[in-house]
Structure 1
Amino acid sequence: MRLIKLISCFTLYFLIALNSKAQLSMFPAVSVPVQITPNGKEHLFASYYGINSWSKNQHFATVLETDVQFRIPTALDTATLGLVDMRTNKFLPLTKTTAWNFQQGCMAHWLATNPDSVIIYNDMRNGKYVSVIMNVITRKELKILPYPIGGVSPDGKEAVVINFSRLRITRTDYGYDGGGQDAQPSVRFPVNDGIFLLNLKTGSIKPVVSFAQLRSQVPEIKNPNGIEYIGHVLFSKGGSKLFFLARAIPDWNTTSFTINKDGSDLKRCFPDNWGGSHFDWLDDQRLLITALYEGKKNSHILFTVGQSNFRKLGSGKLDYDGHGTFSPDGKWMVTDTYPARNRDQTITLLNMKTDSVLTLGNYREPPEFKDGWRADIHCRWSPNGDLIGFNSTHTGSRQVYVIKVK
């Protein structure tokens, strides 16, 4: 009997090993994470998750450096915007900004018009939020535009403008301090505010959608002091469409929308009770959204614009709210978790063809990093798809890490 048990155990271990080997064969080889920022100060990628942080040649990554650690930054807190040289991991300071936060940095983007040398980022000048176009090689400011940007088109010619002062009073950790825009705190659905399209060459601006246009499309705000706000906005891969979230405080109801960049074809993605949280475009029609699937449980959902069929990703293993983003070739999706009870944050890779998942690592966030100064993992892919970058505090300070992908 003991021999039979030993044989059974051996068989079980063999099957587990075989299954693990088969599972690993569905995924690229990945390295252990490498810290690319120096200790001594806090560091984070200079933009939101899913936004490319690398020059096209992948020689440099945009990173913020700050002394602020366990609080939400104010207009008096200056962060240094710089580059990490990926060949040496040396931090190279470029400039300073007071329009930043721990969630989205200063929304730095490399511009596709000059993808190895020119970036755009947000700053505050003379009491107003602006966006600055800079050549990072010469460190020369090429243009200052009188609006802050919330996203840049894939061709690098246009950007979306949202109200970061309104964000400050509704979602404090995503807005900017200092009153650089008119927040209109007493207006529930402003007619003259919403999403705007900014021409980066001419500086001209035109409305895409106003809060007033959304009023009939979103749930009723029952609190008498409640107001609607727009946070995250993202261009589709071809640049023809936008996805955005409209939310209200203090009700915290959320509606997911797509719209053409010219303001036409405004569409709600889900029924009211599905909400929406994090997202990424797979192409010009399909996008990932984490939402309450059938109004019940947070899941990673693949959604096609204009259709009512939804595909849950991960075969039940991604039924949580995470920051998912697709690899440049669309074959993989990487996502993360918020801290578990033991404070672990997990990075997971999804094979889009087989729907199988692979855990890339667990990173324990110290309890001091919480609320608006928390450090979400916020993965992002490099242009070649051979690097996954993320922020983490698992060593006790906020630093930037890279996983190599073959």
Structure 2
Amino acid sequence: MTSPATRRHFLSTLALGSLAARGQEAPKYPPTRVITQGPGFHWFGYYDKLQFSPDNRFVLSNKVSFEHRSPTADDEIEVGMVDLQDNDKWIPLGKSRAWCWQQGCMLQWIPGNEFKVIWNDREKDQFVSHILDVKTGEKHTLPSPIYSLAPNGKEAVSCDFARVADCRPGYGYAGIKDRFFDQMAPAGSGVTHVNLETGAPKLIVSHETLAKTGTVMENHPDSKHHAYHLLVGPDGKRFIMLHRWTQPKGGHLTRLITANMDGSDLRIVIPNGYASHFIWRDATHILSQAKDWLGNKDWGDFLFEDKDSGIVSEIGHGVLDSGGHLTYLHNNEWILNDTYPKGVRRIQTPHLYHIATNKRIDLGEFHSPREYTGEWRVDNHPRSSRDERWVCIDAPQEGKGRQLHLIDIQGLLT
């Protein structure tokens, strides 16, 4: 019996041979190298966090000793960074027991600070966050976890990670039970504002408020409401949240809502229950995946104004992938994106999309074995360096599990 690696090599060779038989050249992709290695598996998580240091030398990463199962309360990961100027040396920074496969422990550089990083952890029965100066080693702990940081580096918004773990496994943290497990839309939990100097959290939008704001379709007596996927805008004045509520037969419906940093002025930007990955284009516009807009019944990438039902236009129909993770680059002229595994070979394809010309540049093909599915899948989640020279993705490496891959996109954003 042939091994999985042999079969994958055969499929890859067969595909390349088929291209040659048709007189076609194999695709030419930009240079890529793997910058982490065993023992252990490495990944960063979500696409909307600062992974690269301000000087683009260090790349943050999580490190774990296992794959292919849900984290438990006892599973601890290491957080660290890769030195791109010293043979991709791994530099440990700390530990965390508050993490998930999709978003790690919210490890990221603090905006406006050259040496400080932050990540979430659990201490006894409380989720916390650590701020570390990677140069001096000075560390202090805040009595609250964080989700998305404001550009000023002084404040953040966060969510109830215990409730998210209950309502949307794979995105919350193990180890603490939801205080409001039996309540469908509790008034005592929701989105919090966090002062990064004092760590003091303040509830600014409750789940009860969300459940009572606007029209919530298919809101059943046993629909549990939760808010997460938070992202502060580029001017630091407002933030996005996804308001989700569970359905009796499984799954959930979703609204995209924005608010001021104090929780006021809620705007239901996508009200129809179908919203997904998003990114701020600027302080007044949001690019989001949604469906059933502008006559398109399928999922697509749509530009919205930051107002109630603020649809503007569809972007890249049929070219820009409608299920990927979006980032604007090069003065908002380009979009960085990826795909979920596609085809028999389960290939993920990070890509660049030029808005003005409707041109797409694929950055590589990354095979995702079938064991990487569901909660412990490995989405590429492409992240750009500050100077837009590099793109870093998470992807399985043949025989070595999930690792960080660095793609050189120099010269492509022209």
Q: How far did residue 223 of structure 1 move?
A: 4.3
- Aligned equivalent of 2:405: 401
Contact 1:302/1:310 (<8 A) preserved:
yes
More displaced 10-residue stretch of structure 1: 257-266 or 319-328:
319-328
More displaced 10-residue stretch of structure 1: 308-317 or 279-288:
308-317
Q: How far did residue 221 of structure 1 move?
A: 4.8
**Equivalence map 1:120-131=2 (5 Å):** 120-131=118-129
Pairwise CA RMSD: 2.2
TM-score, normalization by structure 1: 0.88
Q: Distance in 2 between matches of 1:356 and 1:382?
A: 22
Q: CA 1:185 to 1:261, structure 2 compared with 1: closer, same or farther past 3 Å?
A: same
Q: Distance in 2 between matches of 1:157 and 1:90?
A: 30
Q: Which amino acid letter does the alignment assign opposite residue 310 of structure 1?
A: V
- Aligned equivalent of 1:13: none
Q: Which amino acid letter does the alignment assign opposite residue 198 of structure 1?
A: V
Query: Over residues 59-84 of structure 1, what are the superposed CA-to-partner deviations in whole Å (9 max), with x where a residue is unaligned?
Result: 11110111121111111111110110
Query: Over residues 216-259 of structure 1, what are the superposed CA-to-partner deviations in whole Å (9 max), with x where a residue is unaligned?
Result: 33524554432011120000111111011011113511111111
Q: Residue 207 in 1 paired to residue 203 in 2?
A: yes
Q: Distance in 2 between matches of 1:320 and 1:283?
A: 20
Query: Over residues 140-171 of structure 1, what are the superposed CA-to-partner deviations in whole Å (9 max), with x where a residue is unaligned?
Result: 31x21111111111111101120110011111
Q: Distance in 1 between matches of 2:240 and 2:271?
A: 16
Q: Residue 185 in 1 paired to residue 181 in 2?
A: yes
Q: Distance in 2 between matches of 1:192 and 1:361?
A: 46
Query: Over residues 43-62 of structure 1, what are the superposed CA-to-partner deviations in whole Å (9 max), with x where a residue is unaligned?
Result: 001x4212110110111111
More displaced 10-residue stretch of structure 1: 71-80 or 294-303:
294-303
- Aligned equivalent of 1:33: 32
- Aligned equivalent of 1:98: 97
Q: Which amino acid letter does the alignment assign opposite residue 304 of structure 1?
A: E
Q: Distance in 2 between matches of 1:160 and 1:328?
A: 27
Q: Distance in 2 between matches of 1:221 and 1:156?
A: 38
- Aligned equivalent of 2:260: 260
Q: Distance in 2 between matches of 1:265 and 1:118?
A: 32
Q: Distance in 1 between matches of 2:292 and 2:237?
A: 27
Q: Distance in 2 between matches of 1:277 and 1:127?
A: 31
More displaced 10-residue stretch of structure 1: 62-71 or 307-316:
307-316
Contact 1:289/1:302 (<8 A) preserved:
yes
**Equivalence map 1:2-401=2 (5 Å):** 31-45=30-44, 47-87=45-85, 88-114=87-113, 116-141=114-139, 143-179=140-176, 182-216=178-212, 217-250=214-247, 252-273=252-273, 275-294=274-293, 296-306=297-307, 308-318=310-320, 320-327=322-329, 329-342=331-344, 343-396=346-399, 397-401=401-405
More displaced 10-residue stretch of structure 1: 345-354 or 227-236:
345-354
Query: Over residues 197-232 of structure 1, what are the superposed CA-to-partner deviations in whole Å (9 max), with x where a residue is unaligned?
Result: 111112233332111111133524554432011120
Contact 2:110/2:117 (<8 A) preserved:
yes
Q: Which amino acid letter does the alignment assign opposite residue 200 of structure 2?
A: S
Q: Distance in 1 between matches of 2:311 and 2:370?
A: 40
In structure 2, list runs of 5 or more residues that go unmatched.
Answer: 1-22
SS in 2 for 1:212: helix
Q: Distance in 2 between matches of 1:129 and 1:65?
A: 20
Q: CA 1:135 to 1:328, structure 2 compared with 1: closer, same or farther past 3 Å?
A: farther
Q: How high is the sequence identity, in percent, across the aligned residues? A: 32
Q: CA 1:300 to 1:270, structure 2 compared with 1: closer, same or farther past 3 Å?
A: same
Contact 2:228/2:241 (<8 A) preserved:
yes
Q: How far did residue 30 of structure 1 move?
A: 7.0
Q: Distance in 2 between matches of 1:329 and 1:92?
A: 33
Q: Distance in 1 between matches of 2:215 and 2:383?
A: 30
Q: Distance in 2 between matches of 1:319 and 1:57?
A: 31
Query: Over residues 284-334 of structure 1, what are the superposed CA-to-partner deviations in whole Å (9 max), with x where a residue is unaligned?
Result: 011110111427211111212126342211142235211111126322111
Q: Distance in 2 between matches of 1:167 and 1:240?
A: 25
Q: Which amino acid letter does the alignment assign opposite residue 289 of structure 2?
A: T
Contact 1:365/1:393 (<8 A) preserved:
yes
Q: How far did residue 380 of structure 1 move?
A: 0.8
Q: CA 1:381 to 1:328, structure 2 compared with 1: closer, same or farther past 3 Å?
A: farther
SS in 2 for 1:186: coil
Q: Distance in 1 between matches of 2:361 and 2:179?
A: 43
Q: Distance in 2 between matches of 1:40 and 1:361?
A: 25
More displaced 10-residue stretch of structure 1: 52-61 or 307-316:
307-316
Counting matched residue pairs gives 377
Q: Distance in 2 between matches of 1:212 and 1:271?
A: 17
Contact 1:301/1:310 (<8 A) preserved:
yes
